[in-house]
Structure 1
Amino acid sequence: MKIKYPVLLVLSLIITSCSGTIATTKKEYKITPAVALKSDWNLNTTEWFLEKDTLRGIGGPMHWGVIESKKKLPENYEIAFNVNMTKESLFEIMLNIDKEQYIRTYLYQIDQNIVIGRGVYKKGTDEYEKRGGPTLFKKPMKLENNKWYSVKIKVLHKHLFFSVDNETVLECSLEKSLLSQQGKLGFLTNGEAKIKDLTIKNIP
């Protein structure tokens, strides 16, 4: 009988450490040089890599550079980071990736908008019809290359809030907009983008 309690304690620690979400109620997630990128993310190391404290992504108009987390986002979460689009026009945060479906939240320099849309990304193909998707909500914002922007995303009780520089804000209901309600996180670029100060928090 005395052995049961230590065994239960060890099992509870194993379950906690093997959590299926990228951030837990007790610990937020950060990308740092001390973290092995491959252990937490699916990526092509020629497209996404760490340079000191900065995550750098390289893609092109015909082949988007994509990185995807290995673990799911929590049901309610907050993501914050700074991004610089150093080349080309598109930087996208892929939310709640479920198989090939996801929520598109992105900065689009050509149209000078931030956007929420319904996305699809089929791995292993660069066919135009098998990536991207329709725009659902957009708001004008002046966007430039070689400039840092502060991005914050919050999903709480199936409601999405997406803001850039705490000024331009979009929001929507995941249910009403028929958007994916749970899944992984990803980033996408059609040129070159740099990300720093990334934190992912679980909202209890």
Structure 2
Amino acid sequence: MKIKYLALLLFPLILISCCGTISTTKKEYKINENATLKSEWKSNPKEWFLEKDTLKGIGGPMHWAVIESKKELPENYEIDFKVNMTKESLFEIMLNIEKEQYIRTYLYQIDQNIVIGRGVYKKGSDEYEKRGGPTLFKKPMKLENNKWYTVKIKVLNNQLHFSVNNETTLECSLEKSNLSQQGKLGFITNGEVKITDLTIKSL
């Protein structure tokens, strides 16, 4: 009898802890339907949209296209996808977005680096100082337009692992680097980008 009462007490807590996150321990989260994109992500539909199974973003040097999840990322998570920067130089994965602060993990063709940095994103503003932010860690990598790259991001026990094509990797401690430890997920482009095979799962 005590076990039944305990189960009844715990069940609502489990529901509360899972329903606000972008993934659960039971399944991977994927974007494969327009209904899911519209209901669970915030973006301008002219800038971010699905073409069959591919998420496409269209921005420009003066106006970066941004898409942001409505749900929180779990404490420990893994994100996998393939990306193709078809125009311009920047594609950025925004991690742990919280009160306009986030972790910058991005591919930057001008410098030919993958980068981890501290970011700021002021919604509705295209002013230079109200988007992006300082670089904390970077590693050289040859990056080109119209080429697919495999991206893997893992946050486990406050350690961030960011790798591209399983060959170039950056790592850091969120706590030691004073980076956001909770929040939402987003993507930014200053040109055109295609994303496919996106999965987000709890660890």
TM-score by length of 2: 0.92
Residue matched to 1:129: 129
Q: Deviations over 1:92-115 (max 9, x none)?
A: 000000010000000000000000
Supply the distance in 2 between the matched residues of 1:99 and 1:16 (Cα, whole angstroms). 22
**Contact 2:18–2:24 under 8 Å retained in 1:** no
Cα-Cα RMSD? 2.1
How many matched pairs?
199
Supply the distance in 1 between the matched residues of 2:93 and 2:132 (Cα, whole angstroms). 12
Residue matched to 1:200: 200
1:86 is the counterpart of 2:86: yes
SS at structure 1 position matched to 2:50:
strand
Supply the distance in 1 between the matched residues of 2:177 and 2:17 (Cα, whole angstroms). 34
Supply the distance in 1 between the matched residues of 2:119 and 2:155 (Cα, whole angstroms). 17
Deviation at 1:161, TM superposition (A): 0.1
SS at structure 2 position matched to 1:119:
strand
Q: 1:59 to 1:17 in 2, by over 3 A?
A: same
Structure 2: stretches of 5+ with no match in the other structure: none
Moved more, 106-115 or 29-38: 29-38
SS at structure 1 position matched to 2:200:
strand
SS at structure 1 position matched to 2:143:
coil
**Contact 2:23–2:29 under 8 Å retained in 1:** yes
Residue matched to 1:98: 98
Q: 1:51 to 1:17 in 2, by over 3 A?
A: farther
Deviation at 1:12, TM superposition (A): 4.1
Output the amino acid matched with 1:28: E
Supply the distance in 1 between the matched residues of 2:145 and 2:112 (Cα, whole angstroms). 12
Report 1:177-196 matches (<5 A).
177-196=177-196
Residue matched to 2:76: 76
SS at structure 2 position matched to 1:37:
helix
Output the amino acid matched with 1:197: D
Residue matched to 2:38: 38
Supply the distance in 2 between the matched residues of 1:134 and 1:17 (Cα, whole angstroms). 33
Structure 1: stretches of 5+ with no match in the other structure: none
Q: Deviations over 1:147-194 (max 9, x none)?
A: 000000000000000000000000000001000000000000000000
Supply the distance in 2 between the matched residues of 1:142 and 1:199 (Cα, whole angstroms). 25
Residue matched to 1:171: 171
Supply the distance in 2 between the matched residues of 1:99 and 1:152 (Cα, whole angstroms). 25
SS at structure 2 position matched to 1:74:
coil
Identity across the alignment (%): 82
Output the amino acid matched with 1:201: K
SS at structure 2 position matched to 1:36:
helix
Q: 1:65 to 1:21 in 2, by over 3 A?
A: same
Q: 1:32 to 1:49 in 2, by over 3 A?
A: same
Supply the distance in 2 between the matched residues of 1:34 and 1:55 (Cα, whole angstroms). 10
TM-score by length of 1: 0.92
Supply the distance in 1 between the matched residues of 2:168 and 2:18 (Cα, whole angstroms). 37
Deviation at 1:16, TM superposition (A): 6.1
Supply the distance in 1 between the matched residues of 2:145 and 2:171 (Cα, whole angstroms). 25
